[in-house]
Amino acid sequence: MSRPHLLLAEDEPNLRRVLAARLRRDGFEVMAVESGTEALQALQRHHFDAVLTDLRMPGADGMEVLRGALERDRSLPVVILTAHGTVDLAVEALKRGAFDFLTKPFDREELRAVLQKATATRRLSAREPGPQAPGRFGLVGESRPMQRVFEAVERVADTPATVLVTGESGTGKELVARALHEHSGRRDRPFVRVHCAAIPPGLLESELFGHEKGAFTGAVSARPGRFELADGGTLFLDEIGEVPLEMQAKLLRVLQEQEFERVGGVHTLRVDVRLVAATHRDLQQEVQQGRFREDLYYRLNVVRLHLPPLRERIEDIPLLVEHLTAKHARRLGRPAPAWTPQAMARLRAYRWPGNVRELENVVERALLFCEGERVTEAHLPEELRGEDDAASPSSAPLPSLSELLDGEPEGRGLKEVVREAKARIERDIIAQALERTGGNVTHAARLLKLSRKGLQLKMRELGLRDDACE
């Protein structure tokens, strides 16, 4: 077995030299550095089996080394060296993910035992994913809110109960629906998805229940609906809050009786379907405002499973970034780059209105622009780089009153700031409309009260791709 590779960060030269010599005699390959900053750089460039770092160092301290190490590799053990006066900080480091800590002066045998245990744990975690995996059911996350999601999926997956999955757009509601299906006794039967917002109201009944030949103009042959196609399996109704009121009564009947008729048909069909529904809307509020049937709401809300927004589980961002970076690096056929602590800090500080879907877009974009081995702040979109970034509109100097009156402010003046803010708002509104309609430009234009051509022109003006289907 190869010798374990150890990164040692200690700013006191004599102690660093003695420690490195002892650890090499104990069977470790040691890279010794004199500061936390050098340690962070070494973590970006080399592979280690463990890190031994002093807590108090000039520049980046041991806490920053710990954070950088875990952001790069969550299974990397970090052992903290601390003086008596900083034991409380060392305990805080344990809470943040450190493997262990040693108080100076420490016993050589104790040091060797802790590091041997750390490197053995590291090698075991590399061989045995299971508990070390970033999440369950194909979902990534170890935060307490996500643990509650995993527990709920595990408890209700293999039951016939109807599940209502709630949460903001981009939180992964379809992943939860698929997890419920794949961990149930119906896993070998169909999983059928219907995006209710993407189907025009006049066609939704036919889409769900099917139609007979001649039922309406264009019905040249009989066609089964999604309930029939999902017989024996799971039907996932995404954005069920968009279903028109007149359709809700028919949907309630099939949920209660598991029977329906095709459009234009006279024969009653029976199915065995487990329903999972999802919405980003507050259905209780929709009921109060008369837009959603109360009886249907209670029929859907047998089990409610709420997905937290990304801003409420910031601690999962490094895991998600690692997962998404590996995913898109494989797709692009290139090695997965590491993320600098500064870039990761920007991701953690952002509010993520688009949740995990937005994070994935940012990761993919960063990989496309990154040509080296590290993703830095420069590879992030402008809105993530913060107010201190020179390109940020919020950091632009305000023009003088005379410049505004002349209509020709120098540099990036107020008018340009307003114009860019307006463009960002327009982009967000159009993106939300496209998301609600499953990328259908025609239906998004209807929601926005624009012509299809007008929306296409606006999308091109704002740099949004028009690759949506009809």
Domain boundary among 306, 338, 359: 306
Report the pLDDT value the prediction gives residue 229, as an integer from 0 to 100: 84
DSSP strand pairing (191-195 vs 210-211): unpaired
pLDDT band at 375 (very low <50, low <70, confident <90, very high): very high
- Residue 216 shares a structural domain with residue 117: no
Give the integer Cα–Cα distance in Å for 234 and 236: 6
Q: Which domain, by its residues, includes 431?
A: 396-470
Q: What is the mean pLDDT of the chain?
A: 82
- Residue 230 shares a structural domain with residue 103: no
Give the integer Cα–Cα distance in Å for 397 and 307: 41
- pLDDT, one tens digit per residue, over 424-451 is 777 777 877 776 676 778 877 877 777 8
**pLDDT beyond 70 at 95:** no
- pLDDT, one tens digit per residue, over 65-88 is 998 988 877 778 899 888 755 556
Report the pLDDT value the prediction gives residue 411, as an integer from 0 to 100: 46
**pLDDT beyond 60 at 403:** no
Residue 452 to residues 402, 422, 448, 458, Cα–Cα distance (Å): 42, 21, 10, 10
- Concatenated DSSP letters of 141-161: --SHHHHHHHHHHHHHTTS--
pLDDT band at 295 (very low <50, low <70, confident <90, very high): very high
- Residue 149 shares a structural domain with residue 272: yes
Report the pLDDT value the prediction gives residue 275, as an integer from 0 to 100: 96
Report the pLDDT value the prediction gives residue 399, as an integer from 0 to 100: 41
CATH of the domain at 200: 3.40.50.300
Cα-Cα end-to-end distance for the chain:
59
Report the pLDDT value the prediction gives residue 413, as an integer from 0 to 100: 52
The arithmetic mean of pLDDT across residues 35-64, rounded, is 89
Residue 106 to residues 71, 102, 264, Cα–Cα distance (Å): 28, 7, 83
- Residue 221 shares a structural domain with residue 263: yes
**pLDDT beyond 80 at 367:** yes
Question: Which DSSP helix (H) or strand (E) runs through 420?
Answer: helix 414-436
Domain presence at residue 426: yes
Report the pLDDT value the prediction gives residue 438, as an integer from 0 to 100: 66
Q: What percent of the chain has pLDDT over 90?
A: 40
State the total domains in the chain: 4
- Residue 9 shares a structural domain with residue 116: yes
The DSSP code for 377 is G
Domain boundary among 78, 107, 131: 131
- pLDDT, one tens digit per residue, over 331-351 is 888 889 999 989 999 999 899
Question: Which DSSP helix (H) or strand (E) runs through 324?
Answer: helix 317-332
Domain presence at residue 136: no
Domain presence at residue 339: yes
| Secondary structure (3-state) at 381 | coil
- Residue 282 shares a structural domain with residue 174: yes
pTM of the model: 0.55
- Residue 287 shares a structural domain with residue 152: yes
Q: What percent of the chain has pLDDT over 70?
A: 84
The arithmetic mean of pLDDT across residues 161-189, rounded, is 92
Domain presence at residue 418: yes
Q: Which of 30-39, 184-193, 270-279, 386-395 has the lowest mean pLDDT?
A: 386-395
CA quadruple 390, 392, 398, 404: dihedral positive or negative?
Answer: positive
Domain boundary among 264, 285, 306: 306
Domain presence at residue 235: yes
Q: Which of 34-48, 78-92, 212-226 has the lowest mean pLDDT?
A: 78-92
**pLDDT beyond 50 at 410:** no
- Residue 43 shares a structural domain with residue 168: no
CA atoms within 13 A on the CB side of 423: 15
CATH of the domain at 365: 1.10.8.60
- Residue 174 shares a structural domain with residue 284: yes
- Residue 71 shares a structural domain with residue 196: no
Sequence-separated (6 or more) residues with CB below 8 Å from residue 440: 198, 434, 468, 469, 470
Omega cis (within 30) before 105: yes
- pLDDT, one tens digit per residue, over 180-217 is 998 999 988 888 888 888 888 888 898 899 889 888 87
